Structure 1
Amino acid sequence: MTDHASTDTAYQTWTSLQPITRPGDVPITTPIAWMENRRSDHCLALLLSRHAPDRHGPTDALDTDIPAAQQLLHDWADGQHRLYQAEPLSGHRLGLTAAGHQAVLDLIPDH
């Protein structure tokens, strides 16, 4: 028989964690469904507040500043493009094509 009282208390503790900005902020024993509920709640809040840019910025949950986030995106795109240029595994290429790489870089102002 499931002990719902302890589950309810654990869920209340989980929902009270403020804010979660790093993977280490999430207890390892957290059920995936709870994390998904929290993620979807956050996405809904962002959607509903999309006309209030002062409330949520582009780095809201990244715990970083905009230049650092832009550099991370640039580095990721470069790595994905290098992966695409490498020898394909099993005949399937992975990563970003030149056009895909440029499309990601176009997201970064003054790249």
Structure 2
Amino acid sequence: MKVVKYELEGKIEINGKTTTIKRKYRHLKSAKDYIREITGSEVKWSEDKDKVIAERKGQGVTMTFEIKRTRLVKPKKEKQEKQEKQPPKEEKKEDQKPVENSPAEEKKS
């Protein structure tokens, strides 16, 4: 199971108008392919610990993309649920009493 996801945030500025893009990916390669498709060519990547940044400038166009790596954490089951389920089993054992005299034994006497 994949425990990492990548969040893409991009800003495209064309002649003073700004457009923002936000997407989520399971694989870094998919996010990079999307950026290459939008820019139309190869982009220089600068990598930090949990960020990958790409910038592309042209005539009247500025594109900046930031890919953040986030770690997924499974929610832990609470111990209280387990404790609540166990007491009913103990009560069933107390309700059952051993049979001392059966009706067949009384007839023989």
Alignment TM-score, normalising by the size of structure 1: 0.20
Higher relative strand content: 2
Higher relative helix content: 1
Alignment TM-score, normalising by the size of structure 2: 0.20
